[in-house]
């Protein structure tokens, strides 16, 4: 579904009313698959590449989803297994008191008014089955005990609503017991995967990444072309030729970033930003075509799939004999690198504790995983005056900053990006406090939901973010939304086009490179987008 | 299940429970059942059940370190880290858990989103739930501590002190305790918001109404026997001491409202381990709260970590070697 097919923003929201609920109790309200609000199923060929179960052609609109005959048994067995493997899951099945504090914290509930998008009810979809099959009172009392049978309709409901959650964890900030819907959704999706219920926008990137090393399925020689193309643009803008180290053994640092940065605007400008920064520093680093993906759509599939895709990061670091790993601007990538990688694929005892070659700073916070975030690296450089910066080159931009869910709520990376932003541009305005930092709102398209067929739901889910963005646009004339996430750079661009025209989207290191005064550069008249650095500059020339 | 049906059916259930104990206690032959047997059984279920549930949770591994960070992590030395919202050491973690358990930190963040024309969404302050929650839990705690006077002789001085502070205003005789009023008010608020807020009513189960009605019943019967029917406290203490010292006796002539009170407490105790009330124990085990955000600086081991099928570099190079060489990318095998 394209944006043009959507009603305008006013019309889109006219039917949303938090207080108007269906006449039927939620257990009896049927799930309706409406075009624009769900994602298309995974193609069989992608499931086969990954040895996932039940590859076939099917559609959520079909009555028959072509499930294995014993699908119920498979799900319940998987359910039981996960209750024994994840304390989080078991606990979150048990302790919710349904106080409702999470209800209006979810962007999908705010944008759709659908009560099953309240985090509490999303979890109840699965909790009700838990009660029926795994608790004493639920077994005895049935419906009165809050339990319900796992029927095909329940399964369809799970598919709809677990692929209508972006695992952003905002609700878990507000829950008095820290119940994290991301955990529930992740397990919910794992269970769905057991019987072959998954979406193509997740599984195809996973299959691509498994084979070619990146979500987009770009083969190594294709990557070289893309990088060289960006390199040519850099040459045009700065007059400087950059040598790109690729799969270079013995480099000090392996650089890993989401492949979204190689592929499409505005991510490519951020990628050019990294290249220029590393060149100017004289950093001894390498790109990798094998570990050419920082992102990890395994996170939106199963814990096992996270590990399968993530394994190549350490494997490549070992093969190339680097000392440590530097990671680019990406959101969910940092959930994986920060909270899963070392546990899954470590210990990385063949690497060294990261030290900045320019400032001597030891990145103590990364001494175990040996992986540093690019804004930690860059803010440290700026703090130690290692970069020559001219922030006035970004004076055309009045910027605000969107905290991506995972760096904010899974890693606590809040100040580093802000420090960099303040040093590379002069006009920085924060969005309202309920919408940034740990309370930041999702772009509406995370966790694999950023596909075009799901456009209506994306625009609804992105509404709270867009609302805050519109506020600073109107109040401060903000015209650039900064973010450090490849999914954001793609999804927020569409979101801004729909809700807040006049605002464009970009990464932080794009602005770093705009401001970066490089040795031997020609007088800069263009920014990384090839647009005049200063308004009216073209006419003056 | 229909929201109103859940509510009414649960209310009737609690009323029946109260009635059973009221009628049962009136019959002399059942005094031992309601005064001794049921309280003992309930207490046993409570203790064994709560321990079982907590041990059950504790036996399930925590495979990954997944704190929800609500503040700046410890990173570079010149960036101020927030040890309470993103703990980097044990003190920070104790602080975070203390704030959560003692002051309901997360609930204090609560806001209320409202849709306006535009369309716009605004966020208002919403601290009532937090306030009612705090009042409810602390009143309950105070009341439980005050009840120690029935079980211990001589009455410990801190119990006396607490009781005199709680009855400071000396309204009516016997004094109405502030916490009795607060508990009833807070529980009533929690009930009313459950009914009045459409979304909350929509998600409410009988399991949400049942403990509220039980607690309201316990509070009301307690208030009635202290301030209206004035139960003979000497006999009550005799019974309580008997239970506590394992030499149970059932003094004759205690007002049946006492047995209603005791029975509802017994039901609450016995129900506790099977219910959402276990959040009291669960909050301590919640992995998003009770783990430090030291993910990249300290190792975390998953006890069930297992090998998975990966696509090795060798397989990758085998597929693309010719193209890689053509593009000038170094390869491992020529």
**Side-chain half-sphere exposure of B3, counting CA atoms within 13 A:** 17
B127-138: burial string, b at 16+ Cβ within 10 Å, e else: eebbebbbbbbe
A97-127: burial string, b at 16+ Cβ within 10 Å, e else: bbbbbbbbbbbbbbbbbbbbbbbbbbbbbbb
Distance CA A92, CA A122 (A): 12
pLDDT for residue A538 is more than 60: no
In this complex, which of A90, A248, A411 lies closest to B57 when CB atoms are compared? A90
Residues from chain A that touch B326, judged by Cβ atoms under 8 A, are 221
- Look up residue A131 and give its two tokens: 């009660």
Q: Which residues make Cβ contacts (< 8 Å) with residue A47, sequence separation at least 6? A: A53, A54, A55, A196, A198, A203, A207
| A–B CB contacts, 8 A cutoff, strictly below | 319
- How many angstroms away from the CA of B104 is the closest CA of chain A? 6
In B, minimum Cα distance to A138 occurs at B274
Check CB contact of A213 with chain B, cutoff 8 Å: yes
pLDDT for residue A540 is more than 50: no
Contact A416 B304 (CB under 8 A): no
Going by pLDDT thresholds of 50, 70 and 90, the confidence category of residue B334 is confident
Check CB contact of A172 with chain B, cutoff 8 Å: yes
Q: Give the pLDDT confidence score for residue B277 in this predicted structure.
A: 97
- How many angstroms away from the CA of B156 is the closest CA of chain A? 34
Strand partners, B123: B113
Task: Identify the three-state secondary structure at position A105.
Answer: helix
Instruction: Work out the percent of chain A whose per-residue pLDDT is above 70.
Output: 99
In this complex, which of B70, B79, B205 lies closest to A416 when CB atoms are compared? B79
Contact A339 B64 (CB under 8 A): yes
Check CB contact of A98 with chain B, cutoff 8 Å: yes
Check CB contact of A102 with chain B, cutoff 8 Å: no
The string of pLDDT tens digits covering residues B65-77 is 999 999 999 999 9
Query: What is the residue extent of each domain of chain B?
Result: 3-306
Query: What is the residue extent of each domain of chain A?
Result: 3-30+53-197, 206-515
Check CB contact of A410 with chain B, cutoff 8 Å: yes
Contact B320 A26 (CB under 8 A): no
User: Among A255, A319, A320, which residue's Cα sits nearest to residue A281?
Assistant: A255
**Side-chain half-sphere exposure of A535, counting CA atoms within 13 A:** 3
- How many angstroms away from the CA of B218 is the closest CA of chain A? 20
- How many angstroms away from the CA of A454 is the closest CA of chain B? 21
Task: Identify the three-state secondary structure at position A512.
Answer: helix
Contact A121 B203 (CB under 8 A): yes
The string of pLDDT tens digits covering residues A200-257 is 999 999 999 999 999 999 999 999 999 999 999 999 999 999 999 999 999 999 999 9
Q: Give the pLDDT confidence score for residue A4 in this predicted structure.
A: 85
Residues from chain A that touch B64, judged by Cβ atoms under 8 A, are 303, 339-340, 343
In this complex, which of A12, A20, A87 lies closest to B287 when CB atoms are compared? A87
Residues from chain B that touch A18, judged by Cβ atoms under 8 A, are 113-115, 198-199
In this complex, which of B67, B203, B293 lies closest to A100 when CB atoms are compared? B203
- Look up residue A480 and give its two tokens: 């650039």
- How many angstroms away from the CA of B176 is the closest CA of chain A? 30
Check CB contact of A51 with chain B, cutoff 8 Å: yes
Q: Give the pLDDT confidence score for residue B230 in this predicted structure.
A: 84
Distance CA B237, CA B106 (A): 40
User: Among B295, B88, B70, B79, which residue's Cα sits nearest to residue A420?
Assistant: B79
Q: Give the pLDDT confidence score for residue B28 in this predicted structure.
A: 64
**Sequential DSSP letters for B237-276:** HHHHHHHHTT-----TT--HHHHHHHHHHHHHHHHGGGSG
Distance CA A195, CA A365 (A): 40
**Sequential DSSP letters for A128-154:** HHHHHHH-HHHHHHGGGGT-----HHH
Least confident of A276-290, A347-361, A433-447, B223-237: B223-237
- How many angstroms away from the CA of B263 is the closest CA of chain A? 20
Least confident of A88-102, A288-302, A330-344, B249-263: B249-263
Residues from chain A that touch B305, judged by Cβ atoms under 8 A, are 343-344
Cα A493 → chain centroid: 14
Going by pLDDT thresholds of 50, 70 and 90, the confidence category of residue A541 is very low
The string of pLDDT tens digits covering residues B209-236 is 999 999 999 999 999 998 888 888 889 9
Mutate: best of A184, A208, A245, A365, partner B, most B CBs <10 A:
A365
Q: What angle do CA A312, A313, A318 make, to 5 degrees?
A: 90
Distance CA B332, CA B334 (A): 7
pLDDT for residue B3 is more than 60: yes
Question: Do A99 and B132 form a contact (C-beta atoms < 8 A)?
Answer: no
**Side-chain half-sphere exposure of B316, counting CA atoms within 13 A:** 27
* Mean pLDDT of all residues in A414-420: 98
pLDDT for residue B173 is more than 80: no
Check CB contact of A29 with chain B, cutoff 8 Å: no
* Mean pLDDT of all residues in A179-183: 97
Question: Do A257 and A328 form a contact (C-beta atoms < 8 A)?
Answer: yes
- How many angstroms away from the CA of A6 is the closest CA of chain B? 16
Supply the CATH classification number for the domain A3-30+53-197: 1.10.1060
Q: How many residues does chain A have?
A: 541
Question: Do A244 and A231 form a contact (C-beta atoms < 8 A)?
Answer: yes
Instruction: Work out the percent of chain A whose per-residue pLDDT is above 90.
Output: 96
ipTM: 0.95
Report the mean per-residue pLDDT for chain A: 96
Question: Do A318 and A234 form a contact (C-beta atoms < 8 A)?
Answer: no
Residues from chain B that touch A225, judged by Cβ atoms under 8 A, are 327
Residues from chain B that touch A9, judged by Cβ atoms under 8 A, are 119
Which residues in chain A (497-526) have CB-CB distances under 8 A to chain B?
Answer: none
Distance CA B69, CA B288 (A): 8
Contact A110 B203 (CB under 8 A): no
Contact B274 A27 (CB under 8 A): no
Helix (H) or strand (E) holding A254: strand A253-256
Distance CA A434, CA A428 (A): 18
Question: Do B26 and B256 form a contact (C-beta atoms < 8 A)?
Answer: yes
The string of pLDDT tens digits covering residues A78-100 is 999 999 999 999 999 999 999 99
In this complex, which of B286, B293, B309 lies closest to A412 when CB atoms are compared? B293
In this complex, which of A110, A115, A315 lies closest to B121 when CB atoms are compared? A110
Contact A343 B207 (CB under 8 A): no
Contact A367 B297 (CB under 8 A): yes
In this complex, which of A220, A338, A371 lies closest to B320 when CB atoms are compared? A220
Q: Give the pLDDT confidence score for residue B25 in this predicted structure.
A: 80
Residues from chain B that touch A337, judged by Cβ atoms under 8 A, are 296
User: Among A486, A525, A526, which residue's Cα sits nearest to residue A506?
Assistant: A486
Q: Give the pLDDT confidence score for residue A59 in this predicted structure.
A: 97
- Look up residue B295 and give its two tokens: 């993910």
Question: Do B93 and B87 form a contact (C-beta atoms < 8 A)?
Answer: yes
Contact B79 A434 (CB under 8 A): no
Instruction: Work out the percent of chain B whose per-residue pLDDT is above 90.
Output: 81
Q: B31 vs B21, B93, B223, B253, B268, CA distance in Å?
A: 10, 49, 22, 10, 20
In A, minimum Cα distance to B58 occurs at A87
Contact B119 A16 (CB under 8 A): yes
Q: Give the pLDDT confidence score for residue A536 in this predicted structure.
A: 60
Quick one: fold of B3-306?
Answer: Fumarate Reductase Cytochrome B subunit (1.20.950)
Check CB contact of A248 with chain B, cutoff 8 Å: yes
Q: Which residues make Cβ contacts (< 8 Å) with residue B171, sequence separation at least 6? A: none
In A, minimum Cα distance to B63 occurs at A86
Mutate: best of A123, A132, A220, partner B, most B CBs <10 A:
A220
- How many angstroms away from the CA of A395 is the closest CA of chain B? 26
Report the mean per-residue pLDDT for chain B: 94
The string of pLDDT tens digits covering residues A34-64 is 999 999 999 999 999 999 999 999 999 999 9
* Mean pLDDT of all residues in B94-113: 97
Check CB contact of A432 with chain B, cutoff 8 Å: yes
* Mean pLDDT of all residues in B165-186: 85
The string of pLDDT tens digits covering residues A279-300 is 999 999 999 999 999 999 999 9
- Look up residue A82 and give its two tokens: 């996960």
DSSP tally for chain A: helices H, then strands E: 25, 7
Contact B296 A369 (CB under 8 A): yes
In A, minimum Cα distance to B301 occurs at A343
Check CB contact of A421 with chain B, cutoff 8 Å: no
Contact A25 B68 (CB under 8 A): no
In this complex, which of A104, A311, A342 lies closest to B112 when CB atoms are compared? A104
Mutate: best of A12, A52, A93, A100, partner B, most B CBs <10 A:
A100
């Amino acid at each position: 579904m394209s944006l043009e097919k959507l009603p305008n923003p006013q019309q889109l929201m006219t039917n949303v009313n938090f207080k108007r609920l269906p006449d039927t109790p939620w257990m009896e309200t049927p799930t309706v698959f409406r075009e624009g609000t769900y994602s298309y199923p995974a193609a069989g060929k992608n499931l086969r590449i990954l040895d996932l179960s039940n590859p076939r052609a099917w559609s959520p609109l079909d009555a028959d989803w072509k499930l294995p005959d014993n699908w119920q048994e498979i799900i319940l067995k998987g359910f039981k297994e996960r209750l024994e493997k994840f304390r989080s899951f078991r606990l979150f099945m048990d302790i919710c008191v349904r106080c409702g504090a999470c209800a209006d914290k979810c962007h999908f509930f705010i944008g759709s008014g659908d009560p099953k998008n309240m985090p509490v009810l999303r979890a109840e979809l699965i909790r009700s089955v838990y009660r029926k099959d795994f608790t004493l009172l639920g077994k005895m009392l049935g419906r009165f005990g809050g339990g319900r049978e796992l029927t095909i309709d329940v399964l369809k409901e799970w598919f709809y609503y677990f692929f209508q959650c972006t695992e952003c964890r905002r609700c878990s900030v507000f829950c008095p017991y820290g119940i994290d819907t991301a955990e529930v959704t992740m397990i919910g999706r794992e269970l769905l995967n057991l019987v072959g219920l998954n979406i193509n926008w997740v599984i195809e990137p996973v299959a691509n990444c498994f084979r070619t090393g990146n979500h987009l399925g770009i083969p190594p020689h294709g990557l070289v072309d893309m990088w060289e193309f960006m390199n040519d643009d850099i040459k045009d803008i700065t007059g400087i030729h950059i040598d790109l180290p690729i799969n270079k053994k013995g480099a000090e640092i392996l650089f890993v970033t989401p492949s979204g940065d190689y592929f499409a605007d505005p991510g490519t400008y951020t990628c050019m930003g990294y290249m220029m920064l590393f060149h100017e520093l004289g950093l001894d680093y390498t790109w990798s075509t094998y570990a050419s993906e920082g992102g990890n759509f395994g996170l939106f599939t199963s814990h096992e799939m996270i590990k399968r895709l993530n394994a190549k990061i350490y494997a490549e670091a070992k093969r190339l004999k680097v000392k440590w790993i530097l990671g680019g601007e990406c959101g969910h990538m940092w959930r994986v690198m920060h909270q899963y990688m070392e546990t899954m694929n470590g210990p990385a005892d063949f690497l060294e504790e990261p030290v900045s070659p320019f400032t001597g700073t030891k990145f103590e916070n990364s001494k175990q995983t040996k992986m540093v975030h690019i804004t930690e690296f860059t803010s440290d450089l700026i703090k130690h005056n290692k970069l020559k910066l001219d922030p006035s080159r970004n004076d055309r931009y009045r910027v605000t900053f969107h905290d991506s869910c995972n760096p904010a709520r899974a890693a606590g990376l809040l100040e580093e990006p802000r420090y960099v932003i303040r040093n590379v541009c002069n006009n920085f305005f924060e969005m309202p406090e309920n919408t940034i930092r740990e309370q930041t709102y999702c772009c509406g398209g995370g966790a694999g939901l950023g596909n075009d067929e799901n456009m209506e739901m994306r625009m609804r889910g992105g509404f709270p973010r867009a609302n805050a963005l519109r506020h600073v646009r109107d109040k401060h004339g903000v015209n650039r939304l900064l973010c450090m996430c490849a999914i954001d750079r793609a999804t927020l661009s569409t979101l801004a086009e729909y809700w807040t025209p006049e605002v464009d989207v970009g990464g932080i290191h794009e602005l770093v490179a705009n401001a970066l005064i490089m040795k031997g550069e020609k007088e800069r008249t263009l920014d990384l987008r090839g647009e005049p650095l200063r308004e009216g500059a073209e006419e003056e020339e | 299940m229909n929201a109103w049906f859940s509510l009414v059916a649960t209310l009737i259930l609690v009323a029946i429970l109260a009635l059973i104990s009221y009628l049962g206690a009136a019959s002399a032959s059942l005094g031992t059942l309601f005064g001794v047997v049921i309280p003992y059984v309930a207490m046993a279920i409570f203790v064994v059940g709560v321990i079982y549930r907590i041990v059950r949770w504790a036996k399930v591994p925590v495979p990954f370190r997944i704190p929800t960070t609500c503040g700046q992590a410890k990173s570079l030395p010149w960036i101020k880290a927030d040890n309470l919202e993103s703990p980097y050491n044990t003190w920070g973690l104790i602080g975070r858990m203390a704030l959560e358990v003692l002051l309901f930190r997360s609930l204090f963040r609560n806001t209320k989103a409202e849709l306006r024309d535009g369309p716009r969404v605004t966020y208002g302050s919403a601290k009532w739930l937090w306030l009612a929650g705090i009042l409810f839990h602390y009143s309950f705690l105070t009341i439980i501590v005050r009840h120690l006077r029935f079980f211990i002789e001589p009455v410990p001085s801190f119990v006396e002190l607490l009781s005199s502070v709680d009855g400071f205003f000396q309204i009516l005789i016997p004094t109405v305790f502030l916490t009795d009023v607060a508990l009833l008010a807070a529980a009533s608020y929690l009930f009313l918001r459950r009914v009045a807020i459409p979304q909350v009513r929509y998600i409410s189960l009988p399991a949400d109404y049942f403990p509220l009605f039980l607690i309201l019943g316990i509070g009301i019967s307690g208030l009635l026997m202290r301030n209206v029917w004035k139960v003979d406290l000497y006999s009550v203490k005799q019974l309580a001491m008997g239970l506590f010292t394992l030499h149970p006796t059932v003094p004759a002539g205690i007002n049946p409202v006492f047995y209603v009170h005791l029975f509802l407490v017994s039901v609450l105790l016995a129900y506790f381990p099977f219910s959402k009330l276990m959040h009291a124990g669960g909050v301590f085990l919640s992995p998003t709260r009770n783990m430090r955000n030291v993910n990249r600086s300290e190792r975390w081991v998953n006890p069930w970590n297992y090998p998975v099928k990966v696509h090795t570099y060798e397989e990758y190079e085998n597929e693309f070697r010719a193209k890689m060489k053509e593009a000038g990318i170094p390869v491992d095998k020529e």
